[in-house]
Amino acid sequence: MDYKVDNKTHQELFSSLARMQEERRKQLEKRQQKIWIKINMPANLADTLNMLTKNDLDTIRKNLNLKNMSALRKEDLIKQLVKFLPTKFVEVLNLLDRERYELIVKMVKKGGLLSATHLSLSKIEFFMGYGLAFPGVCGGRKLLFMPKELIEAFNKIDSMKLKPIVQLNTEWIKLTYGLLYYYGVMSTWAAKNKINKFTNKEIDFLEYINVLSLANDYYKQVKLSYGGFYDGRVIDPQAVIEEQKSRPDIDYYPFTKSQLLKAGEPGYIDKTPSMNNLMVFLASYYDIETREIEEIMSFYHHLINLDAPPSEILNNLEQRFEFPSFEFVQKITTLVIDLCNNTRRWILKGYTPNEILLQEKLKSKPVSSPDNAPQHKKADVINFKTGKRVGRNDPCPCGSGKKFKKCCGINQ
């Protein structure tokens, strides 16, 4: 199966993405106008629910799995939600991680009010969609607020029992997100078994899925499909699955728990030595902020995992920056190829092409003896798509169309 995404396809994808983002922006503007309604505090649950649309109430009903209410009129549905929400509120708390739990704690401590200026619309809609808290405007400020019935329900909870559960949920989420950052896709059972190993306990499968499902509704970082999870950056999860299956001899790279917890953080970038070398090189030539360089590197990490050739990354760099000389082009080409060869790949289950090549060399390496002692030689250049050494007469892996010896290998 050819997983490669060519330049034309990339351009179509980027254009499509731009259109989707613009449409999403317009939808968000309309949604913003609807959800920010004036409120009076303290608020009770019935009055709060009455301010919502029937669709909003149905979302709460569906998310909380409340049965036999789909045919109810709005006023009747509100009565049922007022009855069941305080109990469901406590159940949902047991599925939250530290970030969401602490936001609720802050709200309760402040009388049920919390500034919402730092929260994205999707996060606000999560709280509303599960009946945990609601958006409103009070005194000209955009707030998340909790009706008094929910505050009372929270105050009855034994926080000493709840905190360890929240901590465990946080670990499950970050470890799973870390796994998917590096592997791209993973079956739910394979992910669960990895979590078992890192937490040293057998976790309940349904509970694990529920925790991850609610986390996905909040963070929008991972999706559930094909009987498994996949990272939100993956365009075609089935293609990644097929590529992984085509290499049955490659097992999942053995990341440590610490590595996965770091990779599970929002906005994480795997800054390998190769990536750092390219970042330092760009910073030495151009007046560019560190944050902008990191955004560029994150973009290239994504492109590499979509099997973009080095030439595409070089073309993108040339569009962003002016290349001052041929010597500069040679240097940056070498750095880009090195980045591609040392970037962890979804289709290689977290390994880099260089690591796979090294494994193959070790398998075929003869027993060491004085007659075949290793001799110093220049480092091989690896084609990051095939994982094989590039010969002098082979096409240059940078994508120029020239032979390697007349392009990037001119000094080899």
258 and 282 co-located in one domain: no
Q: Mean per-residue pLDDT for 49-66?
A: 95
Residue 5: is its pLDDT beyond 90? Answer: no
Residue 373 has pLDDT above 50, yes or no: no
The answer to the question of residue 35 being in a domain is yes
Within a domain: 405: no
> What's the mean pLDDT in 263-291?
94
pLDDT above 90: residue 21: no
One domain for residues 176 and 259: yes
pLDDT score for 400:
54
The residue from 239, 264, 289 where one domain ends is 264
- Does position 32 have pLDDT exceeding 80, yes or no? no
- Domain shared by 108 and 54, yes or no: yes
Residue finishing a domain among 206, 230, 264: 264
198 and 123 within one domain: no
Kindly state whether residue 192 falls inside one of the protein's structural domains: yes
Asked if residue 52 and residue 141 are part of one domain, the reply reads yes
Do 35 and 137 belong to one domain? yes
- Based on the domain organization, do 317 and 302 belong to the same domain? yes
Confidence tier at 353 by pLDDT (50, 70, 90)? very high
Domain total in the chain: 3
pLDDT on residue 274:
96
**Residue 402 located in a structural domain:** no
Q: Are residues 70 and 178 in the same domain?
A: no
In-domain check, residue 316: yes
**Domain identity same for 40 and 137:** yes
Residue 369 lies in a domain: no
Q: What is the pLDDT of residue 225?
A: 80
Asked if the model's pLDDT at residue 45 lies above 70, the reply is yes
Residue 345, pLDDT above cutoff 60:
yes
Neighbours of 109 (CB within 10 A): 10
Give the mean model confidence (pLDDT) for residues 25-39: 75
Look at residue 62 and tell me whether its pLDDT is greater than 50.
yes
The last residue of a domain, from among 294, 328, 343: 343
Residues 254 and 166 in one domain: yes
The dihedral region occupied by 378, where left means phi > 0, alpha psi between -120 and 50, and beta the remainder, is: beta
The 10s digit of each residue's pLDDT in 284-331 is 999 999 999 999 999 999 999 999 999 999 999 999 999 999 999 999
For the beta carbon of residue 12, count every other beta carbon within 10 angstroms.
Answer: 12
Domain assignment present for 52: yes
376 pLDDT tier (thresholds 50, 70, 90):
very low
pLDDT digits (tens, 9 = 90+) for 152-181: 999 999 889 999 999 999 999 999 999 999
Q: Which amino acid is at 197?
A: K
Residues 6+ apart with CB under 8 A from 162: 93, 94, 101
CB-based contacts of 372-379 (< 8 A; 24+ apart in sequence): 378/412
pLDDT in tens, 173-221: 999 999 999 999 999 999 999 999 999 999 999 999 999 999 999 999 9
What mean pLDDT is predicted for residues 352-370? Answer: 79
In a domain, 112, yes or no: yes
| Judgement on whether residues 98 and 174 belong to the same structural domain of the protein | no
Q: pLDDT band at residue 1, thresholds of 50, 70 and 90?
A: very low
pLDDT at 151 over 90: yes
Task: Taking residues 106-129, report their average pLDDT.
Answer: 93
Could you list the residue range(s) of the whole structural domain that residue 302 is in?
Answer: 273-343
Q: Checking phi first, is residue 387 left (phi over 0); if not, alpha (psi -120 to 50) or beta?
A: left
Do 99 and 124 sit in the same domain of this protein? Answer: yes
Q: Decide: residue 269, CB within 10 A, 0-12 exposed, 13-18 middle, 19+ buried.
A: middle
